[in-house]
Amino acid sequence: MRYSPYNYENGAFCYACFEQECSGFKTNGNPRVNFISVKVDGENYSKVTSLANLRLTNKSFWWDGEVIHIHFDNFDLPWTFQTIILGAAVTLANKAGIYDEFYYDGRLKSVSPLEARMDPLFSGLIGYSGTAAVLTNEDGEFDNITVFDLYGQTVNILYGEEGAFYSDFELMFSGFIQDFSISY
């Protein structure tokens, strides 16, 4: 975390100090965050891996670890859109641990099996029927989860052995939240 001056125009939006210069840690006291999705007026933007790719890819975003950069359609200005939703990763695992410098809370109770199916109309195209994840909530961490805009947010499921490097984890599923339910 860095201690440095920042202001509204230098990208510290939503860290207080709106339209005035101030200084402090570029965090609000929470752990590091990872943005994995951007939705602009209901349309999901593509995630790219570099500033060069961002400039080349219309409707894309790049999170460099400190600043989120967004290439809006036709380089339009942000205030021309009705909604811009940033999807921050909620990092969960079946065992708590630190992977790729992020803390993964051990709240994942179970995940239903992924079922791969071949599309009968397009030879060789594999589709997944989706999956259901069950999270533990004994301490009430997710009691107010309904305030978040979960529908349509990105979900990535990775598999890795305990002690393995995060870069060695295999992406098993990537999709969008279609529905969620809360029970006692």
Which residues lie closer than 8 Å to 56 by C-beta, 6 or more apart?
Answer: none
Instruction: Pick 10 or 38 by higher pLDDT.
Output: 38
Which pTM does this prediction carry? Answer: 0.58
pLDDT beyond 50 at 10: no
| pLDDT tens, position by position, 15-73 | 444 444 444 444 444 556 788 888 899 898 999 999 999 999 999 999 888 888 999 98
Query: What pLDDT, on a 0 to 100 scale, did the predictor assign at position 9?
Result: 45
Higher pLDDT, 17 or 76: 76
Bridge pairing between strands 108-111 and 46-47: unpaired
